[in-house]
Chains A and B, each alone.
Chain A
Amino acid sequence: MNTAIIVDDEQNLVDYLADKLARLWPELEVLGTANNGRQALALVKEEQPDVAFLDIHMPGLSGLQIAEALPQDTKVVFVTAFDQFAVEAFERSAVDYLLKPVSDSRLQTCISRLKTMDRQNREELVKLLKGLVPQEQNYLRWIRTGLDDTTHLVSTDEVVYFKADQKYTSVFTPTNEYLVRKSIKDLEDELDPAQFWRIHRGMIVRVDQIESARRDLRGRYTLTLRERDETLRSSATYGHLFKQM
């Protein structure tokens, strides 16, 4: 076992690690380096290295995603500056990782472990990565608003609720109101259903903006909002949404 690749979007850090490895593990041959996910995948395919040092945050594919695509025999060492969530997961499953800036002593420990380790437990690694790699979601994140020539962008994170306005839709944020050239039905299809609820034929509300829901005798709910003063009325058809509130 004596070949490796280093993947980091910051060339300085690739050089830094390569330099340290050259001193602490002279027989190791660094076959190549890559600065983004796409290059890394090509490199892996071409070189079939024994060890891959992977930065977690990179443009394109993340280090975690690259690890999933590695050949069975390649051992993975993750390198990260600060990633509490991932580091805790690595700790739990004994996956090797290095924290930047990489110290000589920590790298030495990692090297001896790599040398003595037969092979990494692939299944465990893949299982771990499944939990860490964010699932691809293509929900709407930016809304183009405005009816004249100037379009403004509004992030869906800022929206409190949407209200149908004839064939257009009004968008309400804590401080503003905009108009979108889209029907409320089209918007509903594009929004994340975990974050936005349709509460009425003509209304969609952001779930975490709902402060309270009060039921009346006819099964409709009156909603108060966290960051807007008006109250919204749900129709009875959507009452089931609030049962658990």
Chain B
Amino acid sequence: MAEARYMDNPLRTFTYTGVFCLGIALVIWLVSDSASLWVNLAVSFSIGWSINLAFLLLGGLMQQFLNPYVAAIPITALGLCFGLTIGGVLITGSPWYFFQNDFSGLVLAAFFGIVGFVLFSTRARLEQTAADLARANLETERQERLVMETEIKLLQAQIEPHFLFNTLSNVAGLIRTDPEAAEETLHNLTTLLRSSLKRTREAVTTIQQELDIARAYLEIQKIRMQGRLEYTIDIDSSLNDVPLQPLLVQPLVENAIKHGIDPMEDGGTIHITTRANGPYVEIEIADTGGGPDTSTPTAGSGTGLMNVRKRLATLYGDTAQLVLSENSPRGMIACIKVPVAGT
């Protein structure tokens, strides 16, 4: 629990208390004829400022043991007694005057102590509420910024420079030896580039479109990795037109290549499967790569996943899921589950 601050600005609090005490002293002086104004002021101010002082000195310490509202009671009592003692000394020279001879001061002080406590704690509570509200606003702002940052990162990560240049080198290499494959690769690269430009503007695509992009990407990787990569895409064709947010499938496919298949000398296979599951659709990307125990350290394997998870949370709230598990005999399975109805 957060620690409440009783006094953000001691000077201000002491001034308010002073005004309050002045008022009490005047009222008591006017309604009773017992003492002089000077005596009333002295007692009133010593009590008020003693209570302030007690909060200033003991506030932090007491909150270690008690909640802020309960802690205020003993602090007030302590300040009250201390103030009465000083008041007693000031008027009669005896610290016990108000505890032995004249109980009217004690009764009045206790009464105004409670009134003051209620007034000040209400004000503190109001301030606290205002502060909470400000913090909540700040939090909302931070969340929005986070979403934007994630978006930007996703956009930047769409076409990696390393992948782009590698693909172009492959095309350069293939032009003479296998012109058809070179042309095919250029077509696939065009599909990828076009989709990544389009996706910055489009909010929602369909499962089919997303899988076409994945296919273009995998075809290029197949050329690049030669015999080391095989892939299958197994679509439930009734799901083709189900709307899907972009940039959910693609990062997972890239992860499977980068951290799953590519680090393995003998490569592996990627299986993409879509299936309906009640009101949800599941898209599964399974690889037969190194899996979680691979000895090759490929840093940053979690960042792509984190981005997908954040995106799912932002776009679908609690209704979508990304689940990672181990493939058998080796490799990883990433499965996203999103509601068919969309967002």
Q: Which residues of A contact B (CB under 8 A)?
A: 9-13, 15-16, 19, 36, 38, 57, 59-60, 81-83, 99-102, 134, 136-137, 141-142, 144, 150-158, 173-175, 216-218, 222, 227, 231
Contacts and interface: CB of A to CB of B under 8 A. Distances in A.
Contacts of B329: none
Contact of A154 (B165, B176, B324): B324
B325 A153 contact: yes
B265 A60 contact: yes
A12 B223 contact: yes
B203 interface: no
B153 to A, nearest CB: 14
Contact of B162 (A11, A12, A83): A83
B169 A102 contact: yes
B61 interface: yes
Interface stretch (B80-88, B95-103, B234-242, B296-304): B296-304
Contacts of A144: 292, 326
Q: Is the interface of B mostly helix, strand, loop or mixed?
A: helix
A16 B173 contact: yes
25 contacts: A10-B170, A10-B224, A10-B226, A12-B226, A36-B265, A59-B265, A60-B296, A100-B165, A134-B297, A134-B299, A141-B301, A142-B292, A153-B292, A153-B325, A153-B326, A154-B324, A155-B305, A157-B305, A157-B306, A158-B302, A173-B309, A174-B313, A216-B64, A218-B64, A222-B3
B271 interface: no
Contact of B302 (A12, A151, A156, A175): A156
Contacts of A222: 2-3
A12 B306 CA distance: 34
Nearest to B173: A16
B168 interface: yes
A50 B122 CA distance: 85
Given A144-B326, A156-B302, 18 more contacts: A10-B170, A12-B174, A12-B223, A16-B172, A16-B173, A19-B176, A59-B262, A82-B162, A102-B169, A134-B299, A153-B292, A153-B324, A153-B325, A174-B306, A175-B313, A216-B64, A222-B2, A222-B3
Nearest to B165: A81
B312 to A, nearest CB: 8
Given A134-B297, A175-B309, A217-B60, A10 B166 contact: yes
Interface of B: 2-3, 60-61, 64, 146, 160-162, 164-166, 168-174, 176-177, 223-226, 262-265, 292-293, 296-297, 299-303, 305-306, 309-310, 313, 323-326, 332
A88 to B, nearest CB: 14
Given A141-B292, A144-B292, A100 B169 contact: yes
A65 B114 CA distance: 76
Given A10-B170, A10-B225, A217-B61, A136 B297 contact: yes
A79 B171 CA distance: 17
Contacts of B297: 134, 136-137, 141
**Which 10 residue pairs across A and B have the least CB separation, nearest first?**
A157-B302, A155-B302, A16-B173, A142-B292, A100-B169, A81-B165, A101-B169, A101-B172, A153-B324, A81-B166
A217 B64 contact: yes
A176 to B, nearest CB: 8
B172 A155 contact: no
Nearest to B3: A216
A75 B323 CA distance: 48
Contacts of B332: 153
Nearest to B318: A175
B326 to A, nearest CB: 7
Contact of A13 (B169, B264, B302): B169
B218 to A, nearest CB: 15
Contacts of B3: 216, 222
Nearest to B168: A101
Contacts of A153: 292, 324-326, 332
A144 B2 CA distance: 34
B161 to A, nearest CB: 4
B301 A155 contact: yes
B251 to A, nearest CB: 13
A60 B310 CA distance: 32
Nearest to B175: A16
B301 to A, nearest CB: 6
A59 B224 CA distance: 13
Nearest to B263: A59
B173 A13 contact: yes
Q: Which of A13, A151, A156 has the most CB of B within 10 A?
A: A13
Contact of A12 (B2, B61, B173, B326): B173
A45 to B, nearest CB: 18
A100 B170 CA distance: 9
Contacts of B310: 174-175
A154 to B, nearest CB: 7
Given A12-B174, A12-B226, A81 B300 contact: no
B161 A82 contact: yes
Given A152-B325, A153-B332, A222-B2, A99 B165 contact: yes
A225 B228 CA distance: 43
A81 B172 CA distance: 13
Contacts of B262: 59
Contacts of B162: 57, 81-83
B305 A158 contact: yes
Given A12-B174, A157-B301, A157-B306, A81 B264 contact: no
